[in-house]
């Protein structure tokens, strides 16, 4: 059985403007690979309701899971929850279970649960809350879309809350070989190998450093024995 598929939707003007560099995508990609879920596509869109809603609809129709990051805080530009509700035609309002979590948290902190903070208790009807052990305000899963915070520490905690609840497949085995030859010298034999081992995937990732051309060739597949066999042939073909 093929592995479940996933997409990720990153919501945030700050990444598109070049102000900050996304860290959540790289974290989720690694966590999904370990869990046996194939991340097929990532989209990054701005804090724009139409763009978010359209992307959620398109990605949730074509993938088993869609993970979102960003836009669920208390400020005016946090519109993700409303967009997810709209994408699924669900109603949204402050929900008692989320409000209780926040009320207890801010009482412990001696801070006021004001109107702005109460926005973080707006949860679409039918969604399941995602635990946030870092800063309490919950994420939620609606349909096949887990909705998580953009702050990296919170995002990671929510991923750790959600992933064990999702059925994974066989983790891909991955082995790589660093070859200090130009890709143009590698390409012919590598293409032959890829055709012979058509149950595996072969990626070639070129680099150049201090005037030396080379490539990291990565072999991936579900069967460790086959991956090792292909790696041995690759190594023999490009032995120094």
- Residues lying near a second copy in the complex (CB under 8 A) are found at 13-22, 25-33, 39-47, 51, 73-77, 106, 111, 114-117, 119-120, 134-135, 151, 153, 172, 174, 182-188, 190-191, 194, 201-208, 213, 215, 218, 220
The C-alpha atoms of residue 56 and residue 67 are separated, in whole angstroms, by 9
Least distance (Å) between residue 231 CB and a second copy: 16
Beta carbons of 156 and 162 less than 8 angstroms apart? no
Cβ closest to a second copy, residue 92 vs residue 179: 179
Task: Give pairs for 127-131: CB < 8 Å, separation 24+.
Answer: 127/90, 129/97, 129/98, 129/101, 130/158, 130/161, 130/162, 131/157, 131/158, 131/161
Residue nearer to a second copy on the CB measure, 51 or 177: 51
Handedness of CA 214, 220, 225, 229 (dihedral sign): negative
As measured in angstroms, the least distance from the Cβ of 126 to a second copy is 26
**Closer CB to a second copy, residue 19 or residue 108?**
19
Minimal distance, residue 114 CB to a second copy, in Å: 6
- Least distance from C-beta 85 to a second copy, angstroms? 20
Helix (H) or strand (E) holding 42: strand 38-45
């Amino acid at each position: 059985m093929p592995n479940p598929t996933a997409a990720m939707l990153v919501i945030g003007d700050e990444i598109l403007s070049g102000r900050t560099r996304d860290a959540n995508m790289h974290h989720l990609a690694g966590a999904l690979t370990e869990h046996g879920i194939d991340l097929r596509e990532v989209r990054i869109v701005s804090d724009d309701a139409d763009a978010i809603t359209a992307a959620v609809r398109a990605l949730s129709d074509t993938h088993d899971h869609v993970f979102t990051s960003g836009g669920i805080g208390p400020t005016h530009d946090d519109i993700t929850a409303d967009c997810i509700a709209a994408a699924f035609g669900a109603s949204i309002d402050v929900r008692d279970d989320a409000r209780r979590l926040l009320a207890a948290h801010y009482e412990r902190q001696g801070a006021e649960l004001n109107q702005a903070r109460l926005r973080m208790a707006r949860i679409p009807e039918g969604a399941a809350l995602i635990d946030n052990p870092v800063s309490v305000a919950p994420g939620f899963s609606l349909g096949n879309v887990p909705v998580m915070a953009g702050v990296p520490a919170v995002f990671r905690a929510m991923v750790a809350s959600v992933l064990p609840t999702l059925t994974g497949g066989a983790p891909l085995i991955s082995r790589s070989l660093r070859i200090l030859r130009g890709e143009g010298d590698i390409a012919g034999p590598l293409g032959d190998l890829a055709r012979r081992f058509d149950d595996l995937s072969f990626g070639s990732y070129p680099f150049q450093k201090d005037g030396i051309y080379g490539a990291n060739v990565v072999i991936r597949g579900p069967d460790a024995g086959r991956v090792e066999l292909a790696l041995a042939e690759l190594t023999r073909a490009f032995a120094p």
